[in-house]
Amino acid sequence: MSQSLWLIPAWLLTVVLVFGLSNCRPSVTPNAPEVKGKLFIIGGGKRGAELVNRMIKEAGLDKGGYVYILPMASELADSAVIWAGEQFLQANVQAIAASDFDSPEDMTPQRLDSVAAASLIYISGGDQRRFMEKVRNTPLQYAIYQAYRNGALIAGTSAGAAVMSEWMISGTELNYPEYNSTFLHLEHDNIELDTGMAFFKSAIIDQHFVKRSRYNRLISAIALHPDKIGIGIDESTAILVHHDSAEVIGESQVIIFAMKGSVNWSPEGKIGMKNLRLDIYLPGEKFYIGAHVP
């Protein structure tokens, strides 16, 4: 495996991953008034032509620029790059780069500049914790923020969707260590949350939502942070976030939970909630997400 920047020519799709990591803390966050970028948050599953073409349009790739794929959430980074890269190539996007930043030696200023200058940064699926362990408090995180502030589209699917918000669902039930794709309980202090990329602070994202019936999981997160809204994005569906609004794009629905009342618990730790609002949005509809640029 070569350790040089991977650029995909239109006639060949090969995998060359770049590794790099640093302990330097980023000096800025994306939450600044001058942010010009947008977010494209996909709930996992198949990415149809509608989603790919909308990413290309919103990123301005039909006029130039390039895609930068970040596959660090995946155990099989090369496969993640190939799958995402093929879809962009099929949509006639010729300029594609990818890196798996994993060692200090390979996180060079040149490679970070390439991330910061990208028109579209695409974060693959896999394990959101794996992605954040490699990115959190590194120069790469700063480079992604810089791209976002300058007008790039930051896109992610599945795990790449989970990392978008300030609080990130890891998927772990703390009281029940055996993994289930959804939660089987509604209990206090049962959900593990970690810090994500914090492109916005007003909501918590969950993915594969309707398909995997993840209502208990997102409700548990909102019970822990009742000041946030919960956004459950189904498969083959995305939200395009720009400033304080989000548009639903794709094949299925987006479920919104908003806590309008109170949260309490039984002596056994079962969650009680009063006046929990639920809205279901269809493709083409928009909703208020709260200003992610304070």
The CATH number assigned to the domain holding 66 equals 3.40.50.880
Does 75 reside within a domain? Answer: yes
Candidates 58, 166, 173, 235; catalytic one: 235
Residue 208: left (phi > 0), alpha (psi -120 to 50), or beta? left
Does 84 reside within a domain? Answer: yes
Quick check: 252 pLDDT over 50? yes
Quick check: 3 pLDDT over 80? no
Averaged pLDDT for residues 181-185: 88
Does 293 reside within a domain? Answer: no
Does 1 reside within a domain? Answer: no
Does 294 reside within a domain? Answer: no
225 classed as catalytic: no
**Residue of 65 and 32 predicted with greater confidence:** 65
Does 124 reside within a domain? Answer: yes
* Residues above pLDDT 70, as percent of the chain: 86
- pLDDT confidence of residue 291: 53
274-283 per-position pLDDT tens digit: 999 999 999 9
Our measurement of the distance from residue 49's CA atom to the centroid of its chain's CA atoms, rounded to an integer in Å, reads 19
57-110 per-position pLDDT tens digit: 999 999 999 999 999 999 999 999 999 999 999 999 989 999 988 776 677 899
- pLDDT confidence of residue 171: 85
Does 224 reside within a domain? Answer: yes
- pLDDT confidence of residue 6: 47
Candidates 74, 158, 165, 236; catalytic one: 158
Q: How confident is the model at residue 34 (pLDDT cuts 50, 70, 90)?
A: confident
- Residue 237 contacts residue 48 (beta carbons within 8 Å): no
The residues, ordered by sequence, that sit 6+ positions from 266 with a Cβ below 8 Å of its Cβ are 272
For the CA atoms of 141, 139, 291, 154, the dihedral, rounded to the nearest 10 degrees, stands at -50
158 classed as catalytic: yes
- The region of weakest confidence among 1-5, 242-246, 251-255, 268-272 is 1-5
Quick check: 293 pLDDT over 50? no
Averaged pLDDT for residues 159-187: 91
Quick check: 7 pLDDT over 90? no
Our measurement of the distance from residue 267's CA atom to the centroid of its chain's CA atoms, rounded to an integer in Å, reads 36
- pLDDT confidence of residue 165: 94
Report which secondary-structure segment, H or E, holds 144: helix 139-150
- The region of weakest confidence among 9-13, 51-55, 225-229 is 9-13
Quick check: 25 pLDDT over 50? no
Domain of residue 144 covers: 6-288
Count structural domains, the chain. Answer: 1
Does 257 reside within a domain? Answer: yes
188 classed as catalytic: no
